[in-house]
Structure formats: structure tokens, C-alpha cells
């Protein structure tokens, strides 16, 4: 039997949260009904009052309620709920959490969930779950469950969906995670255009006794990888695919933020860095590409993804950024350059082949990379088996050096 936190604004959605709690208890689990409201009195009696939650975040709830500033209230209670729920999870008081909400409730509920570790069961039933959920999910494994109708009463649709959501969180806490071998972990970045390289290097690293977790370099993937590196769970980083920096610099849709490549440097863990897929910037459908880029070289990856070739000026700046990120490493780091192609489609005869742009990229890396960091240039394409092997070998050497 587990205890599941049922967290939400009980002044506006108390009956709905109580309904979910009742279904969870019928499954044999205990519930902890937590009020994060800041308006009228709760519709149902909570197990944890809003005052208790507010106190965890040093929030002057009475003052906020007197000012009747809903935005201030949501922001304050989101921060307080994160601290309160994190303490409950850390102490083992609760083993899962579910929340229901519209805009404000979703902001509070997901803020609390983002404070919890990866793997802790989290379900958010939200009116916003069918749209862009990136700001709510962040880098955590929050299950966003569309409410379909507003969270406003128990009706023929909501009673089904809320019951299914309650079943989902029960199933999550009931499922035992099979035990696995505790091998040291390596984080690796991959794109479709670097899959062969990463898969080959991954096999070599696994044969050497490591477990490799691969992250798709789609912006979200890079942010998650950086977040997990910061948590201290990795022994090393195989950063073959640094493409997210092209989107960050030029304005594509898959940027991972300006801190991409910072976590390993700060942690001082062994790493390898390559300019994988810095030849491309990602956009959506062709019609969505900003007009300022007309006249550039494009490649339709699929109907939903349009790639734009980075030019020489952009590549020179990307080379400088990559070098400076490498320069910040406190631990052993190696930079490898596949001079014949940094992606499948940048090879000679392919749509993104641009020798001048590649030359600008490589020259900038060489110019700005500080002395003492090994720089390995190889006369091959990024997906060549010998390049993948060199990446794995360099990382293994760095791990041994540390």
C-alpha cells in the first residue's frame, strides 16, 4: 500500500480532487489531500491546509489573499508547493502525486512535480495538456493527462477521465522496478544523422563495462541530459551531437539553451565533444521558416521538419562557442573533428555539403581551443566506424585518466 499525494486548488476544484482520492483509496492506497488554493475556503476538508503549504515556502498567504492578486498567489504557492512536496517525497511520506487543474492549477501542480526526482510517479490532469507542455514538464517525467473538458464538476466525460488518471497513478506506484546491474553511466547525445556513430561507440563503451544512456538532441533532450549530468549520475559524457547550439544561435526550434555543454564542464567529469550536426538548423513545415532566411539552402527531412544549412559565418561562431565550452572543463576532455562530414547530409555530393562552412567551423575550434585540450582531426565522416571507435577510445582514456 502506498500513500499518494492528491494536490490542488481545493477552493475551486475540491470536489474533483476528492473524487480522484476516493478512487485511489478504493484501490487500497492511502491519500494525502493537499490544498494549494488561495481564494475561497476549500470545498472539501484537506489533510494538509494551504497554510501549512505556504509556511514551507515562507509565503505570506494572508497578505496575498488580501491583495487578491491571483498571479502573485499562483507564483507563491507554486514555489511553496515544490518545497513542501519535495520534503514529503524525500522523507518517504508519499510515493506518488496526482494533481488536476486549469492554468493556475497546472502551474502549481507541475512546479511541485518538477521538484521531484526522475522516476517518482507524477500525473497532471490538465486543460493545457494538448498544447505546448514544455514549460510545465521541464526536464522531468511528468505524465500530462488531457482533461478534454474543463476540470469543473463530475460529469459523463470527466468522471471517466479522472478515474483513468487515478488508475494511472495507482498503476505507477504499484509497479515494481526490476533490479538491474549498477554499471557506471555514460550520457550520449544523438540525432538521426549521427545514429551510426553513437551506436558503434555505445557498443564499445558497453563492452568496456559501462551503461550508455542516449539522449535525442531535440532541445528537450539536451536540457534533460544536462539536468541529469548536474545531478551527478554520470561517469562521463559522449557528446557527439552538439547540434542544439546551431538552433540556439541561429533561431531554430530545437535549441537547448545557452547552458548546453556546461554541466559536464562544471561537474569535472570526463567527456568528448564533436561538432555533430552543426551543419543544420531545425524548423517545422517549410512554410514556417522565417522569411529572413529565404535564399538559404534547405532540406526537407520530412513534412514536419525543414533543415537549413548553417553558413560560414554561423559556423565560425559555432566553432568559437564549442571551443569555449570545452575550455571550461575542469576534468579531462577531448575534441574530435570528422573533417569529411559532420552529418550524413554534409558529405561530398550530399545536399548540405559546404566545404567553406565546414572549414570556418574547424578553423574557429582550432583557434579558440585552449592549449592542453587534445584535438583529434580525422579524415573521415562522422558516422565512419573509425571515428566512432576514436570517440569511444578517447572517452575511455579520459575515464582512466580521472
Q: Where are the alpha helices (H) located in 219-354, listed in sequence order?
A: 220-230, 244-250, 262-267, 312-327
Would you state the cell numbers that stand for residue 105, as one nine-digit string?
A: 492549477
Q: Are residues 36 and 101 in the same domain?
A: yes
- Transcribe 245-270 into DSSP letters: HHHHHHT-S----TTTTHHHHHHT--
Does 13 map to a domain?
yes
Same domain, 14 and 83: yes
Indicate if 217 and 282 belong to the same structural domain: yes
3-state DSSP call for residue 306? strand
Total of domains in the chain: 2
Q: What is the pLDDT of residue 181?
A: 72
Statement to judge: residues 207 and 127 lie in one domain: no
**Residue range of the domain that includes 334:** 185-401
Q: Write down the pLDDT at residue 60.
A: 83
Is residue 53 in some structural domain?
Answer: yes
Any domain includes 257: yes
Domain identity same for 110 and 191 = no
Answer yes or no: do 190 and 135 share one domain: no
Run of H or E including 343: none
| pLDDT cut 90: percent of the chain above it | 90
The predicted pLDDT at position 182 comes to 82
Res 65: pLDDT: 81
| pLDDT at residue 178 in the model | 86
Q: Is 324 helix (H, G, I), strand (E, B) or coil?
A: helix
Note whether 235 and 369 are same-domain residues.
yes
Whether 82 maps to a domain, the answer reads: yes
Average pLDDT over residues 168-174: 97
Roughly how many angstroms between the first and final C-alpha of the chain, as a whole number? 44
CATH number reported for the structural domain that contains residue 241 in this entry: 3.40.50.12030
39-56 pLDDT per residue, tens: 889 999 999 999 999 999
**Last residue in a domain, options 174, 195, 225:** 174
Q: Does residue 179 belong to any structural domain of this protein? A: no
Q: Are residues 155 and 206 in the same domain?
A: no
Is residue 374 one of the residues assigned to a domain? yes
Concatenating the DSSP letter of every residue in 149-211 gives S-S-S--TTHHHHHHHHHHHHHHHHHPPPPP---PPEEEEEE-GGGHHHHHHHHHHHHHTT-E
CATH number at residue 67: 3.40.50.12020
**Is pLDDT at 132 greater than 90 in this prediction?**
no
| Domain co-membership, 118 together with 189 | no
Could you say which of 147, 174, 201 is where a domain stops?
A: 174
Same domain, yes or no: 299 and 214 = yes
* 299 in any annotated domain: yes
Predicted confidence at residue 163, as pLDDT, reads 97
Statement: residue 85 has pLDDT above 90: yes
Same domain flag for 169 and 190: no
State the average pLDDT for the chain: 95
Instruction: Specify whether 268 is located in the same domain as 127.
Output: no
Q: In this structure, is residue 389 part of a structural domain? A: yes
Yes or no: say if 240 and 274 are a contact pair by the CB < 8 Å rule. yes
Which three cell numbers, joined as nine digits, stand for 266? 562544471
- Residue 63 predicted with pLDDT over 80: yes
Handedness of CA 161, 166, 172, 174 (dihedral sign): negative
The last residue of one of the domains, among 174, 193, 227, is 174
Amino acid at each position: 500500500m502506498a500513500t499518494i499525494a492528491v494536490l490542488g486548488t481545493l477552493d475551486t476544484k475540491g470536489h474533483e480532487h476528492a473524487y480522484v482520492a476516493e478512487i485511489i483509496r478504493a484501490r487500497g492506497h492511502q491519500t494525502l489531500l493537499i490544498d494549494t488554493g488561495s481564494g475561497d475556503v476549500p470545498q472539501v476538508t484537506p489533510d494538509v491546509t494551504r497554510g501549512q503549504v505556504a509556511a514551507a515556502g515562507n509565503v505570506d498567504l494572508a497578505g496575498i489573499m488580501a491583495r487578491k492578486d491571483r498571479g502573485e498567489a499562483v507564483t507563491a504557492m507554486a514555489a511553496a508547493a515544490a518545497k513542501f512536496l519535495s520534503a514529503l517525497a524525500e522523507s518517504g511520506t508519499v510515493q506518488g502525486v496526482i494533481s488536476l487543474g486549469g492554468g493556475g492549477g497546472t502551474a502549481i501542480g507541475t512546479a511541485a512535480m518538477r521538484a521531484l526526482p526522475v522516476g517518482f510517479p507524477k500525473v497532471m490532469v490538465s486543460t493545457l495538456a494538448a498544447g505546448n507542455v514544455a514549460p510545465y514538464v521541464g526536464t522531468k517525467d511528468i505524465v500530462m493527462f488531457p482533461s478534454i473538458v474543463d476540470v469543473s464538476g463530475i460529469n459523463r466525460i470527466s468522471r471517466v477521465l479522472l478515474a483513468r488518471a487515478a488508475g494511472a497513478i495507482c498503476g505507477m506506484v504499484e509497479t515494481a522496478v526490476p533490479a538491474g546491474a549498477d554499471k557506471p553511466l555514460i550520457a550520449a547525445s544523438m540525432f538521426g544523422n549521427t545514429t551510426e556513430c553513437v551506436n558503434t561507440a555505445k557498443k564499445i563503451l558497453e563492452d568496456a563495462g559501462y551503461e550508455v544512456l542516449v539522449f535525442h538532441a531535440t532541445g528537450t533532450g539536451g536540457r534533460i541530459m544536462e539536468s541529469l549530468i548536474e545531478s551527478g549520475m554520470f561517469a562521463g559524457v559522449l557528446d557527439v551531437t552538439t547540434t542544439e547550439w546551431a538552433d540556439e544561435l541561429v533561431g531554430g526550434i530545437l535549441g537547448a539553451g545557452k547552458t548546453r555543454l556546461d554541466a559536464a564542464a562544471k561537474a569535472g567529469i570526463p567527456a568528448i565533444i564533436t561538432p555533430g550536426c552543426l551543419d543544420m538548423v531545425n524548423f517545422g513545415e517549410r512554410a514556417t521558416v522565417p522569411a529572413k532566411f529565404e535564399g538559404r539552402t534547405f532540406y526537407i527531412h520530412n513534412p514536419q521538419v525543414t533543415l537549413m544549412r548553417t553558413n560560414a559565418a554561423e559556423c565560425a561562431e559555432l566553432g568559437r562557442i564549442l571551443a569555449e565550452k570545452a575550455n571550461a572543463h575542469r576534468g579531462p576532455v577531448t575534441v574530435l573533428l570528422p573533417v569529411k562530414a559532420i552529418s550524413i547530409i554534409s558529405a561530398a555530393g550530399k545536399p548540405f555539403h559546404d566545404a567553406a562552412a565546414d572549414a570556418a567551423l574547424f578553423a574557429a575550434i582550432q583557434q579558440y581551443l585552449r592549449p592542453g585540450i587534445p584535438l583529434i582531426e580525422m579524415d573521415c565522416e562522422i558516422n565512419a566506424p573509425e571515428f566512432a571507435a576514436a570517440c569511444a577510445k578517447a572517452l575511455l582514456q579520459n575515464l582512466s585518466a580521472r
